[in-house]
Structures are given as structure tokens and as C-alpha cells.
Chain A
Amino acid sequence: MPQITYREAIRHALAEELTRDPNVVVMGEEVAQFNGAYKVTDGLLATFGPTRIVDTPISEAGFIGLGVGASMLGIRPVMELMFWSFYSVAFDQILNNAANVRYMSGGQINCPIVIRGPANGGTSVGATHSHTPENVLANHPGVKVVVPATAYDAKGLLKSAIRDNDPVFFLENTILYGDKGEVPEAEYVIPLGKADVKRVGTDLTIVTYGRCVIHSLKAAEVLAKDHGISVEVVDLRTIRPLDFDTVLASVKKTNRVLIVEEQKPFASVGTQLAYMIQREAFDDLDGPIHRLATIDAPAIYSPPVETEQLPNPGRVIKAVLAAMA
């Protein structure tokens, strides 16, 4: 099976869906002539032309709103945010209009838009460019939120997102763009809302998603080798809809849980997971639910310190040992 990067996997998903459905349009800042700020859309302009691959001005409220309006008439816009951090200037369009228009119209209007782009810290770009808004987005009924960790997942999930009739917010990661993984040449899709057990274990369940899956897998190797602890890693892949059955099955097997997330701790995705786990698996737990998150402050610039502010394999190992104690 060919090894391709996470970036290429997303590009292939875009190209395949652009080919499959003439209503798909890719739009965003620098996506066309510049070939993408992160080269995700490299070459798409040459292949599909300027009607399908559209450069926008730096005007997120304007072009995201335009995409929402166009989607109501049957266009399937795939909008790139150069950083998900910029969602703040398009918040009204994303969370009043895209999220609510179906409900407020009594189900008469669909909004099949995809908004995608990176949402992560760890690149020394400071607090304004390091937001991870998956909890904020998923707080809004009507939207779907996807955070892929691997090339394989990114491609299959993005294809599903583009075909979905509801608004889907797809959160990538600049640090993962260059990571390679096996991706089949044959077409496939991964349904939204299906978690993936990335590593089977027996002693403790790590529930995680996005780049923290990679950290958790690295930590699990060390924990097995150096500490004899068998960790199961459950990758949610999609935050909403949420595959809680897979989480529950793992927790019932291992009886211990650590949630690992690149989120500020207060009212995070992990907060919701912890509530659900205690509510539905209280009697299966051998100890309290543990959670490892970003250290609670705006993203620090200082490069070596930012690494420590975020979850990383070393912090995951410590957190697992604490949970097992």
C-alpha cells in the first residue's frame, strides 16, 4: 500500500470529490494560485481551473457567509480556513447561520458546507493562531466536527464530510501535514462518527483524537516496554457525532480511563467525555477518570515551553502512571 502524507491524503480526497460532484467548489485564502498556504491544495487549480478552485480575499466572515448562502442553493463549498483560529472573525456565519439555518427554517433548508483547516498549537505562532475550537464548535447542535489523526483517516473522513448534507467542520493539524501513512489507491470512505481503536490494550483506556493520538501511541510503546502497562488507545476521529459505544466498550474492558486532548481544560471535549463515562460506566471504573490537557493559559510563544504546555508523550506517560497508581 502506498505511503502518502496527511497533506496529500486531504488533497486526494478533495480531487476525488471535485471529480465526482460538479457542485463541489474549493474556496479560501491562497488555495488556488499560491497552491495553498500549507500546500494542501497544491496543483488543484491546474487540474480543476479557477471556477472550482477559488482564491478569496482575507475576509473570513464574507467568504464563509458566501459559502453558507451558496450551499443553501445546492453548491457544496469546501472552505479552507488558513487557521481554524480565524473562525473567530466568521463566528456569526459559522455558528448562527450554518449551524442554525436548518432548524430555524423548520427543516426546509440544508447547509452542506465543509469548513476545513488546521487547528493546533505547537508551532510557536502565539495565542491568536493556536486555538483548538472543536469543543466550541461541537457545542452547537446542527454541526458535525471531525479531527483526523492519520493520513488514512483524513482522506476517508473528508470524503464523507463533503458528501454530508449537514455542515461539517474538519480540523486538521499543521504538524501532521507531513506525516506519512498507508493509504490505499482504491477509493474508500470512512463514516463520520466511528471511533477507531488505534492500539489494543488491557490495563487502561486512553480516549483521544487528533495529534494526541500520535502522542498517546508513542507513550503506549514506552509504557509497555518500560512499565509493563498495556494501554488501549481509542481515537474518536469524530467529536460530533460521537462514537461513545466504542469508548464504553473499552472502558468496560480496562476499567481505567485517561482522556488526552489538546484543549484548554475548562469545558473541553474531555469534560463532556468524563461526564458521559461516569454516567454510563460508573460501576466499571476502578479509579477516577483522569484527563491530560493543555496547561491552562493562552498558547505561549516560547518554542520549548510551548511543547510542555501541550500534551506530549512524556506528559502522557506521567499521566498514565498517575492514573494507574
Chain B
Amino acid sequence: MSKKPSAIADTKAESAVKATDYALAPINAALSSTQRIELYRTMIRIRRFEERSLRAYQGKNPSGGTNIGGFLHLYIGQEAVAVGCCSLMGKNDHVITAYRDHGHAIAVGMDTKPLMAELYGKITGCSKGKGGSMHYFAPDKNFWGGHGIVGGQVPLGTGLAYALKYQGKKGAAMAFMGDGAVNQGAVHEAYNLASLWNLPVVFVIENNGYSMGTSQARSSAGQLAKRAEGYDMAWGQCDGHDVYEVRALMDKHLTLAREQSRPSTVEIDTYRYRGHSVADPDNTYRTKAEIEEYRNKKDPIQVSLHKLLAEGVLTEASADKIDAEARAEAESAADFADASPYPTPDDIQKDVYWESDHPAERKSEGRLFFD
């Protein structure tokens, strides 16, 4: 890190010091007890939501059909990353991510009922049953998806930052990607544009060690975040199992974006307990022992719970109550999804064109649709 400027140059060294208690970092020390509990609550709400969605995926609906089709990329094990990052959002900060997007959606404040309904393909879903698991969106919460093609969302996130700068708004875009995405050309094009044009974007690599079933060692040369140096960007790396550590690092990077309009890259080490998607066999590329190791020693929810108990912010009883509420919320989301209607065939051609959805304001003529 001799080359790069920035407030962030020391983060790698800092993260190597395991004794550091990130709860004492200024951005975390300033948290009230309620805010600390909310971080924990959001993580456990994500966990319970996804566990419930997995049960729905594996089960049948009352008419014997599938509740949830296609892919279901679960975020279980990675919750501290989205929650830590999104907890730092101000009103001009924006988020975009890839297809493992349930955690980010809940972390930005989306209601879990329409999220579950989207998985079920119902009209009450956040995308009216048209996007599915990989394509959650909430522009009212500055959440721009939910994108299915690896790395394809990263230029879009750079464009969000471009718009912020063009409009003179002091904010930052967070463009999340997995560790597999760093080998996609679109990501590198976005890095170059962001640095060249001084755009306020933080590229967040959620490194769960595997791009689908291919380990980092078999897919990527060098340290992932360090590639930023080739684009004259600052970078940082941290352990993503402690929500406080995620916040401590991301706060610096977001500040760099907001205050100096400089992009940067962060690599957050994390782990997913489930397969790449639910349907994928999980035993060809990693061992059960490895998964258990993470589950037992680095689970972000357990890490957070222990800290909150130690801080005296939570008691066993209050923690149990939060968990029970999260389970009830997930159950209620599933009930809502189950009871909701599907879109009708008439809905298929809605939401295709702005103009066809606003016929009174349509300026063009001619046929928009064909049969």
C-alpha cells in the first residue's frame, strides 16, 4: 500500500489485528443501544426470512405445485455485510447488488411481505412477480436491484454515482458484487470510469470464497481488492463476520466517496452456508467440516449476539424475543405470499414500456407489441 493515497491505506493492517474491538471505532461507539439492537435484529430478520423461504422452496403449495420457482440464492452466513454497509446509508446514498439480494433488500428497509410474495411469483411481490428472487428493486429506498448477470450491475452502480455527481448531491453509491464478479470485464470498465471521472462509488466485493462452485484459488489471481491499485483507487479489506468491523471499514470508504468524490474498493471476507443456489449440490467443492467451522466460530449473528450480551445491551430473554419476532415476521410474510393472487395473463404485457403504461401521455404511435 505504498502507492495509494487516502484515509484508507491503513485498513488492511488494522484488520489484521484481531484484538481490535471494532465496537470502539467512532462510527460504532456512537451507536445507541437501540441502534445496536437494530443491527442485530435486521441480521436475524434476514436469516429467518431466508430460512422460511428455503422451507417454502422445498415444500409444495396446497395445490401440489411449487411455491418458489427457479433459483434461490441464499445470503445465510453473509448477513453482517449487507446490514453493516446499508446501516450507514444517508438520504443520498444508493445501493445496487447482484442476484444474492435478499439481505440487501431487507437491510435497506424493504417490507418482507412483498419480498416473500415476489419469491412466490405473486402480484403483491415487490416487482409484481415479474422479477423473482434475483430482481428485487425499491427505488424509494435507493435500492436499484437485484441483478442477474455476474458483474453487470457494477457499471449501473457507477452510473448512479455519476448521476449523484452530475446533480450536485453529496452521496455515494455502493455497488456490491461477489468474488466471482471481479473477473468480469464490465467490472474493470466500471473501475476505470469511476476513477477517471472521480465518481463517488464504493465497490464492495463480498468474498464468500466461491464463485458458484469454483474456489477463489481456482478462479482469481492475486488479492481481489488490490486490483483497485491498477485503477489508482484506494482499497480496503476486512472480516465480514462482525457487523461492527464492516461498519468501521465502510464508513471510511463512504466518507472518501462523499467528501472527496473518490471511488474505492473494499473486499469483505464472508461465507455462505448454503449452496450457490438452493438447487446446487454443495459437496463437490467444499467439505461439511469447513461449513461447520464457519457456522460454529464466525457466524455473524452469533458474533453480534455475544457482543450485545457482553455489552449488556441484550439479555438472553430479550434476544429470544427478537428471534421469536423475526420468526413470526417470516411466517407472516409466507402467509401473505401464500394468500396473494398470481399476476394474470393480462399483467404479462404491463410494465414493459413507460408509454404503454401511460396511454394518456403516450407520444409515439404504432404497435408496441406483436403477436
> B-contacting residues of A (Cβ < 8 Å)?
25, 51, 56-57, 59, 61-75, 92-93, 96-97, 101-110, 112, 141-142, 144, 160, 163-166, 191-195, 238, 240-245, 272, 276
Contacts and interface: CB of A to CB of B under 8 A. Distances in A.
Contact of B166 (A64, A75, A108): A75
Interface residues of B, number: 56
Interface stretch (B46-54, B141-149, B307-315, B327-335): B141-149
B139 interface: yes
B355 interface: yes
A68 B159 contact: yes
A72 B153 CA distance: 12
B344 interface: no
12 contacts: A57-B192, A57-B196, A59-B193, A63-B193, A65-B159, A66-B155, A69-B144, A72-B139, A102-B354, A105-B139, A105-B145, A242-B370
B193 A62 contact: yes
B363 A109 contact: no
Contacts of B285: none
A241 B365 contact: yes
B159 A104 contact: no
Interface of B: 94, 96, 125-131, 135, 137-139, 144-149, 152-160, 162-164, 166-167, 185-186, 189-190, 192-193, 196, 349-355, 357, 363-370
A62 B175 CA distance: 14
A164 B355 contact: yes
B152 A72 contact: no
Given A69-B144, A75-B163, A96-B148, A106 B130 contact: yes
Most-contacted residue by chain A among B144, B159, B352 (CB, 10 A)? B159
Contacts, number: 194
B175 to A, nearest CB: 9
A72 to B, nearest CB: 6
A72 B156 CA distance: 9
A108 B143 CA distance: 11
Contacts of A191: 363-365
A74 B162 CA distance: 11
A54 to B, nearest CB: 8
A96 B152 contact: yes
Given A69-B162, A102-B354, A166-B353, A62 B192 contact: yes
A312 B157 CA distance: 45
Contacts of B192: 57, 59, 62
- In order of increasing CB-CB distance, the 10 nearest A-B pairs are A69-B159, A65-B155, A62-B189, A193-B366, A107-B351, A69-B156, A106-B128, A241-B366, A73-B163, A105-B137
Contacts of A72: 139, 144, 156, 159-160, 163
Contacts of A272: 370
A164 B364 contact: yes
B343 to A, nearest CB: 9
Contacts of B159: 65-73, 75
Q: Which of B131, B163, B363 counts the most chain A CB atoms within 10 A?
A: B163
